[in-house]
């Protein structure tokens, strides 16, 4: 036998590695979950605030910190629902309950203060997780996928997801929900140092946004009966803590993250096209996600699903960065002829599931039946790996065309993801490289 190539070196099968021993983790000596309760008593429509003091020796594992919420639906007068009351929560109800989530580190705001949190949460859950996740742990936050072509159904059993959510909340039964907040600092795995106070503020959304009913005038409302935060704390080996203190004398602790900004703009009734200049001014996103929903649903209308991403008769979609068209050939779906595979495949490639044994639990036909979400990977390397991409800035323009005049106002949801960094110095001053 001979080597396959002269430059190929010899290797040994791992099954013959009989004398090595796995390494032992010694940096983290203890870990525990600590439950935090809101600073004030829960009240209808009032923000829910948590404060986690950093005046301890423990570090915080924010990527394994979870919100626990119990909520129920009642009639307008606060009495319990009947068995046949025509109301149910929208999808991903735990996150849809809140329009905005603000997180501060030592009183420095590190989240984007916009009332688009439900869309960020829904887009990330829908695109970043596959069938197994949506059938398992995402259901703890009441994610039950709406049936294609039935997203606006408010009665009957054609919409499977709505049917399940209705069953779990009928007769004002309390829904018990838990999950991780969709926030940049929660999606990175580095431990937060001691000496950093973390404050989280949850602002409730409108009842007519997160509840669906065929009769919007009955005034159903949701009531949050419990909220708590389970924070993962870790106790370090004293030698590691000492090494960190010495390193902070020479530099800052660094927390690289993917920063997400969700913007919106409206297109009036009767328009055949729309152009939005300067989508992002300071930094061009590495990934861009675009979806169109009815303005009525976005602003809150109980008979409309806020997550119904309709085709709206779109026939042309293109981005321009400093005048250069992205992609080189614009997306030109023809939904009347069911020809939109490039738009669907662009979504698959930009989310990293194409050419892999993975997926987002979305079929091609779903795209035109309520899941028309367009996505573009604007990075040079197609987001290959965890490295930062070169920072680009310029005039980013979005152009949309429709095959007929819009019959009703449309809201365009624009989700941008870009590389960012949070740094903390020895005095625990928090520094960011972005403007909120």
Q: What is the DSSP letter of 389?
A: P
Selection from 303, 90, 89 nearest residue 214 by Cα: 303
Structure confidence at residue 56 (pLDDT): 94
What is the tally of structural domains in the chain?
1
Domain assignment present for residue 22? The answer is: no
Sign of CA dihedral 132, 135, 139, 143: positive
Domain assignment present for residue 255? The answer is: yes
How much is the pTM?
A: 0.95
Least-confidence region, from 167-171, 190-194, 263-267, 321-325: 321-325
* Residue 282 near residue 405 (C-beta atoms within 8 A): no
Domain assignment present for residue 70? The answer is: yes
How would residue 340 be classed by pLDDT, with cut points 50, 70 and 90? very high
Average pLDDT over every residue of 300-323: 95
Total Cβ atoms within 10 A of residue 186: 19
pLDDT at 436 over 60: no
How far apart, in whole angstroms, are the C-alpha atoms of residue 335 and residue 395?
A: 30
Domain assignment present for residue 399? The answer is: yes
The parent domain of residue 166 ranges over 28-432
Least-confidence region, from 187-201, 316-330, 336-350, 364-378: 316-330
Cα Rg of the chain (Å, integer): 24
- Angstrom CA distances, 191 to 30, 113, 186, 208, 235, stand at 14, 24, 10, 38, 11
Domain assignment present for residue 2? The answer is: no
Q: What is the pLDDT of residues 207-265, one digit of tens each?
A: 999 999 998 767 899 999 999 999 999 999 999 999 999 999 999 999 999 999 999 99
Phi/psi-derived region of residue 382, left when phi > 0, alpha when psi is between -120 and 50, beta in every other case: left
Give the three-class secondary structure for 233: strand
CA 68 and chain centroid, separation: 17
Tell me the CATH number at 388.
Answer: 3.90.249.10
Domain assignment present for residue 1? The answer is: no
Per-residue tokens: 369: 């039946």
Query: Across the beta sheet with 273-276, what order do the strands follow?
Result: 273-276, 396-402, 314-321, 324-331
Structure confidence at residue 391 (pLDDT): 86
How far apart, in whole angstroms, are the C-alpha atoms of residue 207 and residue 204?
A: 9
For the chain, what percent of residues have pLDDT higher than 70? 99
């Amino acid at each position: 036998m001979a080597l396959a190539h002269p430059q190929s070196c010899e290797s040994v099968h791992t099954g013959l590695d009989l004398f090595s021993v796995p390494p032992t983790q010694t940096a983290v000596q203890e870990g525990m979950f600590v439950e935090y309760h809101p600073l004030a008593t829960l009240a209808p429509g009032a923000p829910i605030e948590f404060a986690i003091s950093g005046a301890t020796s423990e570090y915080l594992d924010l990527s394994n910190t979870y919100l626990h919420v119990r909520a129920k639906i009642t009639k307008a007068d606060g009495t319990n629902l009947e068995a046949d009351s025509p109301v149910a929560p929208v999808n991903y109800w735990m996150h849809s309950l809140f329009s905005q989530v603000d997180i501060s580190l030592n009183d420095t705001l590190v989240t984007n203060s916009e009332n688009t949190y439900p869309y960020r949460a829904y887009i990330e859950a829908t695109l970043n997780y596959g069938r197994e996740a949506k059938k398992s742990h995402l259901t703890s936050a009441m994610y039950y996928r709406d049936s294609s072509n039935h997203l606006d159904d408010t009665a009957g059993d054609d919409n499977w997801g709505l049917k399940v959510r209705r069953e779990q909340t009928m007769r004002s039964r309390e829904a018990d929900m838990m999950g991780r907040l969709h926030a940049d600092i929660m999606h990175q795995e580095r431990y937060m140092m001691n000496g950093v106070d973390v404050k989280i503020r949850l602002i409730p959304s409108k009842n007519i946004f997160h509840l669906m009913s065929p009769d919007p005038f009955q005034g159903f409302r949701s009531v949050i009966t419990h909220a708590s935060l389970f924070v993962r704390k870790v106790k370090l080996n004293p030698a590691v803590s000492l090494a960190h203190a010495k390193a902070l004398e020479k530099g800052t602790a660094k927390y690289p993250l993917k920063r997400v900004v969700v913007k919106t703009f409206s297109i009036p009734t009767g328009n055949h096209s729309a152009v939005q200049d300067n989508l992002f001014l300071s930094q061009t996103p590495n990934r861009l996600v675009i979806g169109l929903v009815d303005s009525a649903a976005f602003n809150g209308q109980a008979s409309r699903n806020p997550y119904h991403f309709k085709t709206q008769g779109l026939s042309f979609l293109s981005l321009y960065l400093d005048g250069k068209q992205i992609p080189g050939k614009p997306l030109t779906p023809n939904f009347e002829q069911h020809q939109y595979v490039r738009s669907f495949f662009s979504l698959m490639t930009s989310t990293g599931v194409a050419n892999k044994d993975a997926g987002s639990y979305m079929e091609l036909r779903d795209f035109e039946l309520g899941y028309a979400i367009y996505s573009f990977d604007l990075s040079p390397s197609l987001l290959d790996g965890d490295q930062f991409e070169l920072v680009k800035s310029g005039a980013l323009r979005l152009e949309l065309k429709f095959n007929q005049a819009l019959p009703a106002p449309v809201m365009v949801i624009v989700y941008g993801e870009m590389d960012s960094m949070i740094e903390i110095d020895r005095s625990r001053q928090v520094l960011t490289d972005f403007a909120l």
